[in-house]
Amino acid sequence: MVVLRMVAVAAAVVLLVALGSWPYGYYLFLRVVVFAAGLYCGIQLWHKDRSIAVPLLICAAIFNPLIPAHLNRGMWEVLNVLGAGLFGFTAYRQRT
Residue 5 has pLDDT above 70, yes or no: yes
The 10s digit of each residue's pLDDT in 23-69 is: 999 999 999 999 999 999 999 999 998 999 999 999 999 999 999 88
Q: Model pTM?
A: 0.94
In this prediction, residue 95 carries a pLDDT of 79
Distance CA(38)–CA(46), nearest Å, equals 12
Q: How is residue 94 annotated by DSSP?
A: T
DSSP H helices, 18-72, are 24-45, 50-62
The arithmetic mean of pLDDT across residues 68-82, rounded, is 95
Distance CA(87)–CA(60), nearest Å, equals 11
Mean pLDDT of the chain: 95
Q: Which domain holds residue 38?
A: 2-93
* Number of domains present in the structure of the chain: 1
